[in-house]
Copies of this chain bind each other. A is one copy, B any other.
Amino acid sequence: MNRLIELVNENLDKYIEIRYPEDIFKAMRYTVLLPGKRLRPVMCLETCRMLGGNIMDALPAACAIEMLHAQTLIHDDLPCMDNDDYRRGKLTNHKVFGEALAVLAGDALLTFAPQVIVKNSQKLGAVKLLKILEEYFQYAGAYGVIAGQVVDILNENTVSVASAETLDFIHTHKTADLFKLSIRTGAIIADADEAQISAMTDFAQKLGFAFQIADDILDETSTFEKMGKTLGKDKLEGKLTYTALFGLDKARSDLAHLLHDCRSVLMKNAFQSEIFEQIIGKIAVT
């Protein structure tokens, strides 16, 4: 796992070169290179390896997905959205570079990420490259992660009236969609067949849900020091979260069930992956 994280970090650093006007590239680099678990690129690389592909073929796409993830963080943290001052223990992008540059850095990453894929994955051939870009557009956009963020914003202060269905929509799109993009991209690069892609999409949906429930639990039970971001805000601001809707106990038991289902998908399909076992294990100890 650490080797994959290092590989991702090295290449993220390499892909975003500072040119004129320096400020935009510095702002892009700032959030992309904040130390993190690199969960999404690692899942992309590991899926590729697990399904018989070469991880080096998936490296540009894996890094691009981390850039997209950073983009969502930069814009979600803006004053007009979640208004967060800290992220991964550091000041958020707009706190360092100002709002205008934070908006533009996010915008830039949205097209820079797929450009990194095209520039550095020519050996995949035009047909496969196009397929990967289609996945990117689908999950990054208004049908994907943005749909989740929109419904999240529109449902602040609606815990008492909101439905489990709405929360399901938010978690599916805001969190699980980037997991699906990571895993499906790795699978496509490995030339996985439809049945494998479908099984791993199901896995990604369940793992994404589990990850979000764990995040909601931690928001209530952890500390700033451990998480590197301001906690307890969701509750204060009346955000629709899993714990707010169902309580901590049900959240913990649903989390355990989801992670059990994730393991079942791997087992049933004879997918062997120490790294996915580790990821599941880490989410479980929440």
A contact residues vs B (CB 8 Å cutoff): 19-21, 23-25, 28, 71, 75, 78, 80-81, 98-101, 103-104, 106-108, 110-112, 114-115, 118, 126-127, 129-130, 133-134, 136-138, 140-143, 146-147, 149-151, 153-154
- Are B103 and A153 in touch, CB under 8 angstroms? no
Which of B21, B134, B150 is close to A21, meaning CB atoms less than 8 Å apart?
B150
Residues of B within 8 A of A99 (CB): 80
Q: List 27 A-B contacts (CB under 8 A).
A: A19-B143, A21-B151, A21-B154, A23-B154, A24-B146, A24-B150, A28-B142, A71-B107, A75-B103, A75-B104, A75-B107, A80-B100, A81-B103, A101-B153, A104-B146, A104-B150, A104-B153, A106-B107, A107-B146, A108-B146, A110-B111, A111-B136, A112-B142, A114-B114, A114-B133, A115-B141, A129-B130
Interface centre among A127, A134, A142 (most CB of B within 10 A): A142
Which of B23, B108, B147 is close to A141, meaning CB atoms less than 8 Å apart?
B108
